[in-house]
């Protein structure tokens, strides 16, 4: 029986023929890691660009946002876990090929639509669809946005980078231990951010979760690292609300957000508070 090691992200899942990886969206097919959620859309909506969130990329416009199912992380506070931790049999979906998505985006230009945003679940686990659909959207003269956790290999990023105009990347915390608790990889995320920022507009989001990343020292280090890449990269500091396995916790105190934003603003040009 054929077997493959998937190199799309940090997990390097070993899959036997027909077996799904951790993400629920890749499987071993013919001895290769295949994208099995290709074009399978669970969610589609025309959103304000600011909702991605993007504060410094085409403000006031809308973007056709599309998502599938699956994710390579398992954050206990995920607000979209009904699709991010789902497989094909768990959720309704419909197939939208790349050219059809591009046509849908173009048809919404009269409503201020700038193009397509790949979001809701973790889009980069199905990078093949992101690449192909983004290329089709770009061929219509429109823009592409990716909202991602950034925990993916450089090879995968290079596949989509020529077609992506803007990223919002979750920088969930700034310690290796914190990322281990969330089932992620800090070094891979940092490398993703640095490469993406060389050729696309990048904004970062850090959800402030009490007990995980709400101390000044960590935010000071996080902001300093972002500034070392480019101090003009906007950082969204966002309030946590009870979700998923953290549904029994209290929201982040608003005063904590203001305090941490003040710390980050010492080295970054743009710090934006969210969910308050």
Q: In the predicted model, what is the mean pLDDT of residues 238-259?
A: 95
Domains of the chain (ranges; CATH) run 3-274 (3.20.20.70)
- Of the candidates 238, 240, 229, the residue with the CA atom closest to the CA atom of residue 269: 229
pLDDT at 93 over 80: yes
- The count of other CB atoms within 10 Å of the CB of residue 44 is 16
- The count of other CB atoms within 10 Å of the CB of residue 185 is 22
Global pTM reads 0.97
The mean pLDDT value of the chain amounts to 97
Predicted local confidence at residue 206, as pLDDT: 98
Confidence category of residue 2, pLDDT binned at 50, 70, 90: confident
Per-residue pLDDT tens digits for 163-200? 999 999 999 999 999 999 999 999 999 999 999 999 99
35 is written with which tokens? Answer: 């994208």
Q: In the predicted model, what is the mean pLDDT of residues 135-154?
A: 98
Predicted local confidence at residue 240, as pLDDT: 96
Per-residue pLDDT tens digits for 17-74? 999 999 999 999 999 999 999 999 999 999 999 999 999 999 999 999 999 999 999 9
- CA dist 114 to 12, 48, 62, 108, 203, Å? 35, 10, 6, 9, 17
Task: Say whether the peptide bond before residue 229 is cis (omega within 30 degrees of 0).
Answer: no
Q: Checking DSSP bridges between strand 43-48 and strand 26-29, what pairing results, if any? A: unpaired
pLDDT at 1 over 70: no
Per-residue pLDDT tens digits for 94-110? 999 999 999 999 999 99
d(CA 116, CA 146): 9
Looking at residue 253, the DSSP 8-state letter turns out to be P
pLDDT at 130 over 70: yes
- Of the candidates 11, 20, 67, the residue with the CA atom closest to the CA atom of residue 188: 11
């Amino acid at each position: 029986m054929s077997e493959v090691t998937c190199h799309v992200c940090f997990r390097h899942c070993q899959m036997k023929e027909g077996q799904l990886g951790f993400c629920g969206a890749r499987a071993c097919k013919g001895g290769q890691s295949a994208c099995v959620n290709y074009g399978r859309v669970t969610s589609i909506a025309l959103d304000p660009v600011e909702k991605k969130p993007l504060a410094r990329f085409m403000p006031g416009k809308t973007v056709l946002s599309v998502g599938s199912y699956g994710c390579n992380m398992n954050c206990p506070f995920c607000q979209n876990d009904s699709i991010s931790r789902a497989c094909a049999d768990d959720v309704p979906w419909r197939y939208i090929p790349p050219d059809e998505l591009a046509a849908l985006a173009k048809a919404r230009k009269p409503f201020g639509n700038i193009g397509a945003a790949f979001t809701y679940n973790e889009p980069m686990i199905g990078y093949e669809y992101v690449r192909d659909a983004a290329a089709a959207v770009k061929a219509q003269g429109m823009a592409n946005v990716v909202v991602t956790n950034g925990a993916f290999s450089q090879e995968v990023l290079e596949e989509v980078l020529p077609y992506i105009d803007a990223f919002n990347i979750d920088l969930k915390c700034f310690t290796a231990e914190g990322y281990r608790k969330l089932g992620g990889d800090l070094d891979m995320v940092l490398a993703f951010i640095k490469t993406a920022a060389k050729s696309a507009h990048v904004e970062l989001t850090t959800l402030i979760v009490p007990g995980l990343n709400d101390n000044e020292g960590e935010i000071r280090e996080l902001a300093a690292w972002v500034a070392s890449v480019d101090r003009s990269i906007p950082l969204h500091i966002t309030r946590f609300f009870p979700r998923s396995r953290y549904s029994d916790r209290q929201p982040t105190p608003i005063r904590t957000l203001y305090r941490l934003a003040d710390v980050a603003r010492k080295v970054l040009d743009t710090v934006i508070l969210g969910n308050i």
